[in-house]
A and B are shown apart, each in its own frame.
Chain A
Amino acid sequence: MPKLHFRYEVDGDDFTRAGEASSKLKQSLKQLGLSPQLVRRAAIAMYEGEINMVAHADGGVIDVDIDTVAITIVMKDTGKGIEDIGQAMKEGFSTASEEVRQMGFGAGMGLPNMKKHSDYMKVDSEVGVGTTVTMKISIADE
């Protein structure tokens, strides 16, 4: 399979469109003939990241690279950043607004779900500068 690159822009504060980028990625991965399980994991991991971008960071940009080894998803925003990454990674910890919680998010599951559905995840964040989350989902291990 040739190396492929996709880029998606995510709007901030628009929950009605959250998930569009993940849906598009899912369609592209399906067309590439990747296994349904792999496609599902990538789509779920990226959707959680999309929700975080909309809820906490006023949107951002997602770059996805696919080669024979892995799907690499890099989600970059210029939002407010994460003060304590270790705390943010804990299930149940959330700083989401009441509005976000009423929609069924903000349960402190986002980052843990992203970790669960990827084989590698790294969070780089600086308060006031932004956050970059890199996830890899192995293709070779299947």
Chain B
Amino acid sequence: MSAARFSTEDLAASLGFTPLNQARLPAREITSVYCGDLLSHVMGTAPEGSAWVTVMNNINVIAVASLAEVACVIMAAGSRPNEDVIARADEQGVLLFSGAGQIFETAFQVHEKLQL
């Protein structure tokens, strides 16, 4: 086991992303990073355990994240979900974060941490 495992808790602690429901859900290990906004494409290709970076913030994001079993969703470029979406995420056990950076920048920050 690598000593430098990267988990969802590190997203807020070391990268400064805003946790939206971290306090209510167990942390998960992040094994890769993935970008995508077309939900059907994400569904078919997002790796399990990845940090999924997207600008989408509707309720279907939660279903896709849960079924694809990503480690968490990072809503980039200032994208924020409404309360219904957060409530659904809590129900489905989907960790949500939000960040101001654009998609590439956000994903690259996570990628760099995964390389350590």
Q: Is the CB of A113 within 8 A of B43?
A: yes
Q: How far is the CB of A44 from chain B (nearest CB, A)?
A: 6
Q: Which residues of A contact B68 (CB under 8 A)?
A: 40, 44
Given contacts A40-B69, A47-B43, contact A105 B60 (CB under 8 A): yes
Fill in one digit per residue for B32-59: 1 if any A CB lies within 8 Å of its CB, else 0.
0000011111111000100000001011
- Indicate if A118 sits at the interface (CB-CB under 8 A): no
- Indicate if A35 sits at the interface (CB-CB under 8 A): no
Q: Is the CB of A23 within 8 A of B63?
A: yes
Fill in one digit per residue for A99-125: 1 if any B CB lies within 8 Å of its CB, else 0.
000011111011011001100000000
Q: Which residues of B contact A48 (CB under 8 A)?
A: 40, 43
Q: How far is the CB of B51 from chain A (nearest CB, A)?
A: 17
Q: Is the CB of B58 within 8 A of A110?
A: no
For chain A, residues 1 to 22, give those with C-beta under 8 angstroms from any C-beta of chain B.
15-16, 18-19, 22
Q: Which residues of A contact B41 (CB under 8 A)?
A: 107, 109
Tell me which of A18, A103, A113 contacts B44 (CB under 8 A): A113
Fill in one digit per residue for A17-40: 1 if any B CB lies within 8 Å of its CB, else 0.
011001100100000000010001
Q: Which residues of B contact A106 (CB under 8 A)?
A: 40
Q: Is the CB of B40 within 8 A of A43?
A: no
Q: Which residues of B contact A117 (CB under 8 A)?
A: 44
Given contacts A110-B40, A113-B44, contact A15 B59 (CB under 8 A): yes
- Indicate if A51 sits at the interface (CB-CB under 8 A): yes
Q: Which residues of A contact B58 (CB under 8 A)?
A: 15, 103-104
Chain B, Cβ-Cβ closest to A101: B38
Q: Is the CB of A44 within 8 A of B67?
A: yes
Q: How far is the CB of A104 from chain B (nearest CB, A)?
A: 4
